[in-house]
Amino acid sequence: MSVEQAKEPLTRARILDAAVRLADASGMRAVTMRAIGDELDREAMSLYHHVADKKALIAGMVDTVVAEVAESGHAIHRGDWRSTVRDRCLEARRIMLTHPWAPSVIAQQEESPASAFALYDDLVGTVLEAGFDHALAHRAIHALGSLVLGFSNELFDPAPGGDVEPDEEAMRAMAATFPHLLEMADMELHAAEGALSMCDTQAEFEFTLGLVLDGLEARRAALA
C-alpha cells in the first residue's frame, strides 16, 4: 500500500486546464464541477478551494483562451502595421476555432478578462506607431475584436454537409420563396466544386478582415 504515489496537488491552473480540455472535447455542457473533479481524480467540492465558484471558473477559462491569443502574438514577425495586425487576427481566429465554445462564452462575460489588457496594449502600440491617432486606434480595436468574436458564429450556412439528397419538393418551395438566396447558393455550390458546404468560412473571414484593414488604412492616410 505504501507504493501509492502522492497525487499531483490541485492547482487553479490544473483545474482551468482540465475545464478547457473538457469544453474543447465535449462542449460547455460537459463542464461540470463533478466532471472536472473526475478528470483530476478528486471530488467536486475540492475545486472550491482554488476557484470561488462556477462563474469564476468560467471567467478563468476565458482568461486562459485570451492569454493564449495574447501569447501567440509574440511569435509573429513584425512588419508594417497591416500585416502585423492581420497575422494577429488570423492567429486569434485560429485559436478560437480550437475552442469552439469560447466566443459565445466570452460574449456572456461582464468583465474584461485580465489578459485582454496585454493583448490590446500591444495592438494599440502597433497602430499608434504606424501613425494612427488615439481615436482611430480605439475604433480599430473594437472593429477587429468584434470581427474575431463574431465570425465564429455562423448564422448562415444553409447547406451544412448533411443533406446529400435535398428534398425535391421542399427545394422547389424554397426556390419560390427565396429566389435570390437559392440562386446564390446554386452559383456558389457550383463554384465550390463538391465542397461540403457552400461557405468557406476561412476565405470569408480573410475577405472581411481585408475590408476592415483597407478601411483603417484609408482613415490613417487621411490623418496625415
Give the interface with a copy of itself as residue ranges (CB under 8 A): 66, 103-109, 111-113, 116-118, 120-122, 124-125, 128, 134-135, 137-139, 141-143, 145-158, 160, 174, 177-181, 183-184, 187-188, 191, 198-199, 201, 204, 207-208, 210-212, 214-216, 218-219
Cell digits of residue 93: 481566429
In three-state secondary structure terms, 13 is: helix
Is residue 46 part of the contact set for DNA (CB under 7 A)? yes
Cell digits of residue 149: 468574436
Q: What is the rounded CA–CA span in Å between residue 204 and residue 114? A: 30
Contacted entry of a copy of itself, DNA, none for residue 42, CB cut-off 5 to 8 Å set by kind: DNA
Helix 54-72 / helix 81-98 crossing angle, nearest 10 deg = 140
Write down the least CB distance from residue 17 to a copy of itself, Å: 22
Is residue 172 part of the contact set for DNA (CB under 7 A)? no
Residue 202 is which amino acid?
A: Q
Q: Which is nearer to DNA, 32 or 72 (CB)?
A: 32
In the region spanning residues 182 to 201, those forming contacts with DNA, defined by CB under 7 A, are none
Contacted entry of DNA, a copy of itself, none for residue 173, CB cut-off 5 to 8 Å set by kind: none
In three-state secondary structure terms, 10 is: coil
Write down the least CB distance from residue 165 to a copy of itself, Å: 18
Are 56 and 77 within 8 A, CB to CB?
no
Contacted entry of DNA, a copy of itself, none for residue 9, CB cut-off 5 to 8 Å set by kind: DNA
Q: How many CB atoms lie within 10 A of CB 221?
A: 9
Run of H or E including 189: helix 179-192
* Count of residues that bind DNA according to CB under 7 A: 20
